[in-house]
């Protein structure tokens, strides 16, 4: 117990290259940042992205009175063994927690934290009795089939081999643009610069890992932070995790992390720069480590509005309101020689707004909703196709920003798709517009048909879930 142990004054506040022995003998190497006095609780971050990237946050925690140990995962950077995504975080995490609580600088309490894959590693350690809190930002893996471009970028730049390779994905496509046209083609494995593992991804690719996280959340009786972004595909996963947790704090904003997005200098997203997502996580960790209640009012960013001090989790029993929406055409024709492009994350989609190989259903502001909009579509096609529905916010200045997308496989003939669009909290003013863009694929994000295909549409009403009073407690 902290009160029974004298608190030492630390002369050395940073110790690097501290190794933990995994249960199979592999060395897992990390860096320790200590507060002025110990023993203290310790925040554990286990990362495939390079421990040095988390040093500023670790130093901030140490300044706030909390120890921080940032460790390179097995097979990454300085640590031994081979990195196999999703394979070893349970036993390696448990060994690291055992090691930490046995150190004189730890008071026996561990708080596991991380962004993207780091969050997965944190949940894998959550069953250890010494873990007293978990902080998860934009978690991995996401619900459903990962988008092709995001997944290939992640496996290439961030999760392949012993170290990160920033920019390699973009360079590979620049030298061989044909790969972007069909990232599932047979030439990828032969022509890509690094091994990418089983390809292409399917709905079951990361399903065992996703189920493991769900089991860990359901079993955890500790405070948890679920930090997400409406513009990230992980938003739905963040909200689902928060609904399963026993003692959750949920915050959803409009951030993009370099650990979850292939960021570009050009950015059409208008989201408040403050508060910073990393600072929110650090504040929550320091508050929970001190045994206090976190009360920051930044909880739910409403797109088109601003921050509101309310639960960002949508209602479990939403009330839907149909809104007037008009389609610009009733059909499209896909040309495999010129497929509809997905464009990078945060790009202005106005650049492709004039293309005729998309059908756009448009509703004019003002519009207010919170949750996942619904749209029923009947589609006639001569061959099977993956229908992509992209939710787009068009501002009064003409900029168009992708909020997110969903897909529905359709058979040849006449098929019906009940589209559940990405969740979001939005309050679009008059002059803004909401679009649902329907395309046959969206390259390279989603595979397009290899043959020409025409689609004809009949639309049901666009239904928006209405904001309810907070019901989650």
Burial grade of 473 (CB within 10 A; 0-12, 13-18, 19 or more): exposed
Average pLDDT over residues 288-301: 94
Answer for the pair 169, 263: CB distance below 8 angstroms, yes or no.
no
- Domains: count for the chain: 3
- Judge whether 313 lies within some domain: no
pLDDT at residue 6 in the model:
60
φ, ψ at 97 (rounded to 5°) = -65, -45
Looking at the structure, tell me whether residues 340 and 403 fall in a common domain.
yes
Angle at 95 between CA 92 and CA 101, to 5 degrees: 140
Looking at the structure, tell me whether residues 453 and 304 fall in a common domain.
no
- Mean pLDDT, the chain, integer: 93
pLDDT of 411 higher than 70: yes
Instruction: Write the pLDDT tens digit of every residue in 250-289.
Output: 999 998 777 777 777 778 888 787 899 999 999 999 999 9
Percent of the chain with pLDDT strictly greater than 90: 84
Helix axes 55-63, 277-289, angle to 10 degrees: 40
Looking at the structure, tell me whether residues 341 and 248 fall in a common domain.
no
Looking at the structure, tell me whether residues 23 and 164 fall in a common domain.
no
pLDDT at residue 469 in the model:
58
Looking at the structure, tell me whether residues 239 and 110 fall in a common domain.
yes
pLDDT at residue 470 in the model:
54
pLDDT at residue 2 in the model:
40
Burial grade of 461 (CB within 10 A; 0-12, 13-18, 19 or more): middle
pLDDT at residue 337 in the model:
92
pTM of the prediction? 0.94
Looking at the structure, tell me whether residues 268 and 220 fall in a common domain.
yes
- Judge whether 471 lies within some domain: no
Distances (CA, A) of 322 to 10, 172, 460, 463, 464: 62, 45, 10, 4, 6
Range of the domain at 67: 2-143+203-308
> Any residues with CB less than 8 A from the CB of 388 and at least 6 apart, and which?
405, 406, 407, 438, 439, 440, 441, 442, 445, 446
pLDDT at residue 179 in the model:
85
Q: What is the CA radius of gyration of the chain?
A: 23
pLDDT of 313 higher than 70: yes
pLDDT of 58 higher than 80: yes
Looking at the structure, tell me whether residues 424 and 377 fall in a common domain.
yes
- Judge whether 407 lies within some domain: yes
Average pLDDT over residues 348-374: 96
- Judge whether 315 lies within some domain: no
Instruction: Write the pLDDT tens digit of every residue in 205-253.
Output: 999 999 999 999 999 999 999 999 999 999 999 999 999 999 999 999 9
d(CA 42, CA 30): 13
pLDDT at residue 296 in the model:
92
- Judge whether 473 lies within some domain: no
Answer for the pair 114, 136: CB distance below 8 angstroms, yes or no.
yes
Which of 257, 274, 308 is the C-terminal boundary of a domain? 308
- Judge whether 249 lies within some domain: yes
Average pLDDT over residues 359-384: 96
Answer for the pair 134, 225: CB distance below 8 angstroms, yes or no.
yes
Looking at the structure, tell me whether residues 290 and 424 fall in a common domain.
no
Provide the CATH number for the domain around residue 65.
Answer: 3.40.50.1820
pLDDT at residue 1 in the model:
36
Looking at the structure, tell me whether residues 210 and 175 fall in a common domain.
no
Which of 275, 308, 341 is the C-terminal boundary of a domain? 308
d(CA 363, CA 153): 33
Element counts in the chain: helices (H) and strands (E): 10, 22
CA–centroid distance for 124 within its chain: 17
Average pLDDT over residues 54-74: 97
- Judge whether 314 lies within some domain: no
pLDDT at residue 271 in the model:
78
- Judge whether 470 lies within some domain: no
CA–centroid distance for 74 within its chain: 22
Instruction: Write the pLDDT tens digit of every residue in 146-190.
Output: 899 999 999 999 998 999 999 999 999 999 988 887 788 777 888
Looking at the structure, tell me whether residues 160 and 137 fall in a common domain.
no
Provide the CATH number for the domain around residue 353.
Answer: 2.60.120.260
- Reduced to 3 states (helix: H, G, I; strand: E, B; else coil), residue 226 is strand
pLDDT at residue 4 in the model:
46
Average pLDDT over residues 104-121: 98
Average pLDDT over residues 443-447: 92
Which residue from 121, 106, 101 is spatially nearest to 51, judged by alpha carbons?
121
Average pLDDT over residues 113-124: 98
Distances (CA, A) of 111 to 61, 173, 175, 460: 12, 40, 44, 48
Answer for the pair 71, 30: CB distance below 8 angstroms, yes or no.
yes
Average pLDDT over residues 464-471: 76
Answer for the pair 257, 273: CB distance below 8 angstroms, yes or no.
no
Average pLDDT over residues 345-355: 91
Which of 308, 332, 365 is the C-terminal boundary of a domain? 308
pLDDT of 139 higher than 70: yes
pLDDT at residue 400 in the model:
96
pLDDT at residue 144 in the model:
84
Kindly compute the dihedral angle of the four CA atoms of residues 212, 404, 182, 192, in this order, to the nearest 10 degrees: -50
- Confidence category of residue 5, pLDDT binned at 50, 70, 90: low
d(CA 202, CA 8): 52
Tokens 């359901």 belong to residue: 218
Looking at the structure, tell me whether residues 282 and 418 fall in a common domain.
no
Burial grade of 469 (CB within 10 A; 0-12, 13-18, 19 or more): exposed
Looking at the structure, tell me whether residues 44 and 183 fall in a common domain.
no
Which residue from 92, 128, 125 is spatially nearest to 108, judged by alpha carbons?
128
> Any residues with CB less than 8 A from the CB of 40 and at least 6 apart, and which?
34, 65, 66, 67, 105, 106, 107, 289
């Amino acid at each position: 117990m902290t009160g029974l142990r004298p608190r030492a004054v630390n002369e050395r506040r940073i110790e690097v290259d501290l190794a933990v022995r995994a249960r199979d003998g592999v060395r897992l190497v990390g860096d320790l940042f200590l507060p002025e006095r110990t023993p203290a609780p310790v925040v554990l971050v286990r990362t495939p992205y390079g421990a040095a990237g988390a040093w500023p946050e670790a130093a901030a925690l140490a300044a706030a009175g909390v120890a921080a140990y940032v460790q390179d995962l097995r097979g990454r950077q300085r640590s031994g063994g081979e990195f196999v995504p999703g394979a070893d975080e349970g036993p390696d995490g448990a060994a690291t927690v055992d090691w930490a609580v046995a150190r004189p600088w730890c008071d026996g309490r561990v708080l596991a934290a991380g962004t993207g894959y780091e969050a997965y590693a944190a949940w894998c350690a959550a069953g250890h009795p010494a873990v007293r809190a978990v902080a998860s930002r934009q978690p991995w893996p996401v619900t459903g089939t990962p988008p092709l471009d995001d997944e290939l970028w992640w496996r290439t730049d961030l999760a392949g081999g012993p170290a990160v390779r920033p920019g390699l994905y973009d360079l590979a496509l620049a030298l061989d643009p044909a790969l972007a046209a069909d990232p599932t083609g047979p030439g990828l494995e032969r022509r890509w610069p690094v091994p990418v593992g089983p390809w292409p991804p399917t709905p079951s690719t990361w399903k065992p890992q996703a189920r493991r996280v769900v089991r860990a959340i359901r079993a955890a009786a500790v405070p948890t932070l679920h930090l997400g972004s409406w513009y990230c595909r992980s938003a739905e996963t963040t909200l689902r995790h928060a609904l399963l947790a026993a003692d959750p704090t949920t915050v959803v904003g409009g951030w993009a992390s370099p650990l979850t997005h292939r960021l570009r200098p050009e950015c059409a997203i208008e989201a408040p720069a403050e508060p910073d997502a990393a600072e929110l996580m650090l504040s929550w960790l320091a508050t929970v480590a001190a045994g206090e209640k976190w009360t920051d009012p930044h909880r739910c960013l409403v797109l088109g509005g601003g921050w509101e001090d309310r639960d960002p989790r949508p209602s479990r029993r939403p009330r839907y309101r149909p809104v007037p929406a008009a389609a610009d055409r009733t059909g499209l024709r896909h040309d495999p020689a010129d497929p509809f492009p997905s464009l990078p994350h945060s790009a202005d989609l106005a650049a492709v707004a004039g293309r005729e190989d998309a059908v756009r259903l448009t509703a004019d502001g003002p519009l207010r909703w919170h949750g996942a909009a619904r749209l029923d579509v009947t589609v006639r096609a001569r061959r099977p196709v993956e229908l992509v529905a992209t939710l787009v916010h068009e501002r009064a200045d003409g900029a168009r920003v992708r909020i997110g997308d969903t897909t529905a496989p359709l058979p040849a003939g006449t098929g019906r798709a009940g589209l559940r669009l990405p969740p979001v909290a939005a309050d679009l003013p008059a002059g803004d517009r909401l679009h649902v863009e329907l395309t046959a694929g969206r390259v390279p994000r989603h595979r397009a048909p290899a043959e020409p295909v025409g689609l004809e549409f009949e639309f049901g009403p666009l239904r928006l879930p209405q904001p309810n009073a907070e019901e989650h407690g």
